[in-house]
Amino acid sequence: MIITILTLFPDFFATPLQQSILKRAREGGHVEYRVVDIRDYCRDKHKTADDTPFGGGPGMVLKPEPLSRAIESAREYSPSSECIYLTPKGTSFHQKTAEELARKEHFILLCGRYEGIDERIRQHWVDREISIGDYILSGGESAALVVIDAVVRLIPGVLGNEQSLDDESFSPYLLDHPHYTKPAEFKGYRVPDILLSGHHEKIQRWRLEKAREETRKRRPDLYKEHLHSLKKKKGP
Ligand code: SAH
C-alpha cells in the first residue's frame, strides 16, 4: 500500500511515521508513506500556497493551483486513487472506514490549514471527506496521522498476532476487555483469580462478559449494535 500525504508541514510526519508499528510496517514492505510538500507545487517566487478569502473575512484559504497540481501528480501513480480531504465537515471516521481503507492499494490524504481549501478543489478534485471528530484542529496533519495509524495496523501481516485484531474494541461492536500483567498483586490490588487459573475456556468467557459489561455501561449505543449483530448472526 502507498499512502500519499499532501501537506504544508511535511516535518510534522518525520517522527510519528518513524515509530513502532508505523515504522515496522514500512520496513516490512507493507506500506510506503509519501509525504509531499504542497509548496513544491507553487510556481511563484515566494511559493505562496494561501491567499485571502473572496468576500472578505478573517483567515487564509489554500489556493487551488498548487493543490490541483499536487493531487494530479499524486494520482499519476494510479489514476483511480481516492483523494481524501480531512475536514470537520467530512463523514465521521470509524473502524469500518479504517477496514475499508486498509484494502486499498493507494490513497491520498489532503491536509488543510487556516480556513481550509478553495471550494473548487473540494468539489472537483476531492473524492471523499473524512472528519476525525466534532472539534476543530488547526490542521489536517494530526487527523491524517490518526487515519494512518488506524489503517496501517489493519494491513495483513503488520501486527504479529493477527488474532489480536479480532479481540479488539469495535470489531464485533464490543469494547475491549480489561488487561492485566505481572505482578499478580500490586500495592494491594490483585489480578482477578480467574486470569491466574490457567483455564482457557473460563478466561475467554470472563473476557467476553467483561467486554459486554464495559460496553453496556460506557457505550449503550454500541451495545445495541452488538445485540443487533448477534441477532443477525443467529438469523430469524
Ligand atoms: N474553517 C474550517 C476549519 C479549518 S481548520 C471549518 O470551520 O470547517 C484547518 C484544517 O484542519 C482543515 O482544513 C482540516 O484539514 C483540518 N481539520 C480541522 N478539524 C478537523 C477534524 N475534526 N477532522 C479532520 N480534519 C480537521
Q: How many domains does the chain have?
A: 2
Final residue before a domain boundary, out of 152, 182, 212: 152
164 domain residue, yes or no = no
The answer to the question of residue 22 being in a domain is yes
Q: Decide if 95 contacts 170 (C-beta within 8 A).
A: yes
Q: Counting atoms of ligand 1 from 1, which one is nearest the CA of 134?
A: 22
> Which structural domain range is residue 58 located in?
2-152
Q: Are residues 53 and 141 in the same domain?
A: yes
Calculate the CA dihedral of residues 149, 152, 157, 162 and round it to 10 degrees. Answer: 50
Please give the pLDDT value at position 169. Answer: 75
Q: What pLDDT score does 196 carry? A: 98
Judge whether residue 210 has pLDDT over 80. yes
For the stretch 70-128, pLDDT in tens is 999 999 988 999 999 999 999 999 999 999 999 999 999 999 999 999 999 999 999 99
What CATH number should be reported for the domain holding residue 209? 1.10.1270.20
Is residue 24 assigned to a domain?
yes
**Same domain, yes or no, for 122 and 73?**
yes
Question: What's the 141 CA to ligand 1 centre distance in angstroms?
Answer: 10
- Can you tell me the mean pLDDT for 15-34? 98
- Confidence band of 235 (pLDDT split at 50, 70, 90): confident
Q: Which one of 117, 152, 187 terminates a domain? A: 152
Q: Is 158 domain-assigned?
A: no
Percent of the chain's residues with pLDDT above 90: 90
Atom of ligand 1 nearest to the CA of 132: 23
Q: What is the mean pLDDT of residues 161-176?
A: 74
Is 186 inside any structural domain? yes
Do 13 and 84 reside in the same domain of the chain? yes
* pTM of the shown model: 0.94
H helices of the chain, in order, are 20-27, 64-75, 95-101, 119-124, 141-152, 163-166, 193-196, 200-218, 220-234
- Ligand 1 centroid distance, CA of 222 (Å): 26
State the Cα–Cα distance between residues 234 and 39, nearest whole angstrom: 55
For residues 174 and 145, membership in a common domain is answered with no
Task: Say if residue 113 is in the same domain as residue 177.
Answer: no
Residue 42 within a domain: yes
Q: Among 7, 50, 87, which is best to mutate for testing ligand 1, by the most ligand atoms less than 8 A from CB?
A: 87
Atom of ligand 1 nearest to the CA of 130: 24
> What does DSSP assign to residue 61?
E
28 and 79 within one domain? yes
**Which residue's CA is the closest to the ligand 1 atom numbered 18?**
137
The ligand 1 site (C-beta within 6 Å) comprises: 86-89, 111-113, 115-116, 131-133, 135-137, 139-140, 143
Statement: residue 172 has pLDDT above 90: no
Give residue-wise pLDDT tens across range 32-72: 999 999 999 999 999 999 999 999 999 999 999 999 999 99
pLDDT of res. 236: 65
CATH number of domain containing 18: 3.40.1280.10
Residue 139 and residue 24 share a domain: yes
pLDDT band at 234 (very low <50, low <70, confident <90, very high): confident
Of 152, 150, 182, 156, which Cα lies nearest the Cα of 169? 150
Same domain membership, residue 131 and residue 214: no
